Structure 1
Amino acid sequence: MVVTNQPDVLNEATLKEALQQHPFRFYKRVNSTMDMARDWLAAEPNLASGAVVIADEQFSGRGRLNRQWHTPAGQALAMSLILRPQLPPEHLQRVTMVAGVAVAETLNHLLIPGVIKLKWPNDVHLAGRKVAGILTEALWLGDQLQAVIVGIGVNVRVNFMGTPLMDGAISLEAFTSDPVFRPILAAEIIRHIENWVDKIVQPALLETWRAWLYTLGQTVNIHTANGIVTGIAENVDEVGALLIRDGHGIVQRILVGDVTPAQ
């Protein structure tokens, strides 16, 4: 069980029991699980899909746009999963869809149904605040996709009180009565990801991701490299771009940007 009355011990032994046949590497403290996963792949180019790097503490983790994601020791889950999906380059965003849906489904099973939502493109929110983040990086050999590394960070028991993040971030255990057991949480997220990877090109993935997105239907500001686009988030297309109808009635297609509520 993910929520349990046993102490939350994250180490080689508990991960081996939880992850079973999945190859993994565990570190007490790392700069970035993404970097460790990339190094592992460089050393073992034939590493199987599903191999995962997990750390108890991560002090130079990265989010989107190179933002820092710090994982305090004993308080969060930091993991990077290596996948080898079969899909064309223009559909790489579907890996982010897979991860978002998988994390949302996993956390939704722990909590009151309806409190978990996805914010476009890759944030997982609990009661309107960020509880988890996702970052994907593709590795290429020429024009051939070799692997995708999916970095996932989940706030389990981080105390944000008195920090600049207190209004925008939250931890899982704010909504659970018992401790969250991180080895099982990692295993469940991986199980959901692998289930959806098998369906990565199917319409069901897009439909499910769309259903989790609370961004749709809202009037929002999208902060892009070319400025701010304001309008109603009407839909997402098959590669994950957000479709915004602006004040002139023109639908703009946004692939990369930050969403904030319009005032």
Structure 2
Amino acid sequence: MDPLLSLLSHTGYISGERLCESLGITRAAVWKRVEKLREEGYDINSAGKRGYRLVPRPDSLLPGYLAMDLSTQWAGRGDIFYKPDMTSTNTVLKAMAYQGAARGSLAVCELQTEGKGRLGRRWEAALGENLLHSLLLCPAMPTEKAQLCTLAAATAMAGAVEETVLGLSVGIKWPNDLLIGGKKCAGILSEISADMDGIRFVVMGVGVNVNQRHFGGELEDKATSLWLEQGKLAGSGDMPGQDARELPPIDRRALLCAYLSRMEKAVEAIENQGLQGILPEYLRRSVTLGARVRVTGIQGEFLGRAEALDETGALWVTDEQGERRRVLSGDVSVRGERAYA
């Protein structure tokens, strides 16, 4: 982060004299750098002898504002790269990782031009409405357990959503989808770099439909957003005095900070305890385990019942012939009210 921005991210005013001393530059140079930050979108107030202050801006995902709200030790504390639009946050962060970015680094944007989902699918998101980011992990675990990072991210984001938007109930569809009322509200894409010694890094990409108000075409029956679901709570009377149409946008930065805090703890839990570190939380939210499923992948397509997870995070499914199959990847659809979703 810009050293000046780092100093301003602390609460309250900081004098020009102190900024000069800390940065080793003149007052004129401080003023020029403040102006540059203002051009980048930061709201910086100047007040005579009191100095400069970074004015909070709810929902802004700029690194300086994010740093003000973080309560983590390492998640979000590495390099933070923000740009309004990117090809994809995973692509950008992976390049940063190969160039030596530290654990906990982030790539965040408002719009992805080449957003990626699992199995080569595209991830579509409207400009400035949703939360699109990737977090760099360096987990101390063998390569075969890398799937646990995805499960950890799912539990962390599910908890963060419920913390940010009170009243919502979030389910997890193995391995990487978050659902509310049977509709997808978030997806996770992890990309791993490993060698003979184990995992080098994991790029954990998460996209959350936060404030999107419309889904067209086939997505209308399959996708939802936190804002839409919050509106349903208001419309049902669970939020007295609130008109669903007048609800303000949900603060994406608050959601991201809640996720980073929970993800930090979840990663440390799986490093120390393996699957058991997150299993109770995962089981509580799983919509897959115990359900009838359709599995599509390199093993072909088959129907069965999802029975359990093994210590690597793989899914065990008993097919219709009674054979137990270990599913490491692929598309797992859960039998619900609308056939398999």
TM-score after normalising by structure 1: 0.90
Shift of 1:13: 3.8
Q: Distance in 1 between matches of 2:90 and 2:134?
A: 6
Partner of 1:241: 314
- The structure where helix makes up a greater share of residues is 2
8 Å contact kept, 1:160–1:169: no
- From 246, 256, 261, give the equivalent of 1:191: 261
Partner of 2:131: 77
Q: Secondary structure at the match of 1:184?
A: helix
Q: Secondary structure at the match of 1:260?
A: strand
Partner of 1:11: 62
RMSD over aligned CA atoms reads: 2.0
Change (3 A) 1:86 1:161: closer
Shift of 1:79: 0.4
Amino acid at match of 1:231: G
Q: Distance in 2 between matches of 1:57 and 1:255?
A: 30
Partner of 1:3: none
Partner of 1:258: 331
Tell me, yes or no, if structure 1 residue 158 matches structure 2 residue 200: no
Amino acid at match of 2:81: R
Q: Secondary structure at the match of 2:312?
A: coil
Q: Distance in 1 between matches of 2:300 and 2:180?
A: 29
Q: Distance in 2 between matches of 1:204 and 1:41?
A: 26
Identity among equivalent positions (%) equals 32
Q: Distance in 2 between matches of 1:161 and 1:211?
A: 29
Partner of 1:31: 87
Q: Distance in 2 between matches of 1:221 and 1:39?
A: 35
- From 179, 182, 195, give the equivalent of 2:249: 179
Q: Which runs of 5+ in 1 are unaligned?
A: 1-5
- The structure where strand makes up a greater share of residues is 1
Q: Distance in 1 between matches of 2:196 and 2:255?
A: 36
Shift of 1:7: 5.5
Q: Which one has a bigger Cα radius of gyration?
A: 2
- From 121, 128, 152, give the equivalent of 2:182: 128
TM-score after normalising by structure 2: 0.70
8 Å contact kept, 1:59–1:72: no
Alignment size in residue pairs: 256
Q: Distance in 2 between matches of 1:251 and 1:142?
A: 30
Q: Distance in 1 between matches of 2:166 and 2:68?
A: 28
8 Å contact kept, 2:154–2:176: yes
Partner of 2:104: 50
Relative contact order: is structure 1 or structure 2 higher (C-alpha 8 Å, sep ≥ 6)? 1
Q: Which runs of 5+ in 2 are unaligned?
A: 1-56, 231-246
8 Å contact kept, 1:97–1:206: no
